[in-house]
Amino acid sequence: MKCLVAGGAGFIGSHLIDSLLNEGHNVVSIDNFSLGRVDNIKHLINNPFFKSYHSDLTDIDALNRIFKEHKFEHVFHLAANSDIKTSTQSPEIEYKNTFLTTYYLMECMRIYSVKKLFFSSTSAVYGEKAGESLKEDAVPLNPISYYGAAKLSSEAFIAAYSYMNDFDSLIFRFPNVIGSRLTHGVVFDFINKLRENSKKLVILGDGTQSKPYMHISDLINGIMSFTCISKPGVSMYNIGVETKTSVKIIADIICEEMGLKDVEYSYTGGKAGWKGDIPTFEYDLHKIYKTGWRAKFTSDDALRKTVKEVLGCTR
């Protein structure tokens, strides 16, 4: 297939491009490099089946030219402001980089008759539902972060565009995804903090925040497993792992892998790391399990593997 990966220089997008190329597809990446990195795709520059555009998805004229030139068959939309904490002080980031990117991609798909879409959504659309096992058909959906609201708005537009234009749209609601090429998040932050000061570590919240962490290899395997499945309308799945890991345990794993002992932890307090953060959640994964797909790594295993990759700079 001729594929577009929006956000292709990012953490997840670049891993997806590697897999798509390995499967023999032609791939075009669009990224504005606000979070994406040239290093993530530099090993692909001489690949004749790959092309990269340094462009903003909200530049509709440039996006139209790219769609017109390449005649895509499948769009993988992974572009968003994935650094959720940053947008707490600037909601416009989510409107532009998370919602508008979706709208403009949908509009180009409509104009150029591209029928297949993959969209990366998030657990943040559910809002704070402590003690509940989150199902895809849960109602109401009450996101508490600007990021979650922008993703839920995107889901709604995808549903409408899919109905009106006969798209086959697959939406995965991601948990916390980790692995090599990370650009932010708790693992990234803790490692950098401990490199600066190996004696002390400041932890946001009270350290009991506990979430499922999924390794990038499992996520990419899930996306690729569904790529060639054609189903009219919108198909929605939670994807993730059954286990969870607390922030305190993450700190312990990182200190152990860095060979650090007697690190003094201090906590900023409160049940969440910042306003809009969901301190804990749990997915109901029965729907995706019925397809035969399961993750290979537990949450703790994914974290330890990621720390080793980041410390060893494994691609």
| Confidence (pLDDT) at 86 | 77
Residue 313 has what pLDDT?
65
- Residue 68 has a pLDDT of 97
Q: Do domains 2-177+215-238 and 181-212+243-281+297-312 have the same CATH topology?
A: no
Which pLDDT belongs to residue 85? Answer: 73
pLDDT, position 314: 47
* pLDDT value at residue 233: 92
C-alpha pair distances (Å), 56 with each of 52, 74, 105, 180, 308: 12, 19, 11, 24, 33
E-strand ranges in 175-247 read: 176-178, 200-203, 210-211, 213-215, 233-238, 245-246
Tell me the residue type at 249. I
What is residue 279's predicted lDDT score, i.e. its pLDDT? 87
What residue spans define the domains of the chain?
2-177+215-238, 181-212+243-281+297-312
- Element of type H or E holding 118: strand 116-122
CATH fold of 2-177+215-238 reads Rossmann fold (3.40.50)
Could you tell me the pTM of the whole model? 0.94
Spatial separation of the C-alpha atoms in residues 204 and 268, rounded to whole Å: 5
Residue 101 confidence (pLDDT): 97
pLDDT in tens, the chain (315 residues): 999 999 999 999 999 999 999 999 999 999 999 889 999 999 999 999 999 999 999 999 999 999 999 999 999 999 998 777 777 888 899 999 999 999 999 999 999 999 999 999 999 999 998 778 999 999 899 999 999 999 999 999 999 999 999 999 999 999 999 999 998 889 999 999 999 999 999 999 999 999 999 999 999 999 999 987 778 899 999 999 999 999 999 999 999 999 999 999 999 988 888 788 888 999 999 999 999 999 999 999 999 999 999 998 644
Q: What is the token pair recorded at 96?
A: 């532009």
Q: What is the CATH number of domain 181-212+243-281+297-312?
A: 3.90.25.10
Q: What is the SS3 string spanning 238-299?
A: ECCCCCCEEHHHHHHHHHHHCCCCCCEEEECCCCCCCCCCCCECEECCHHHHCCCCCCCCCH
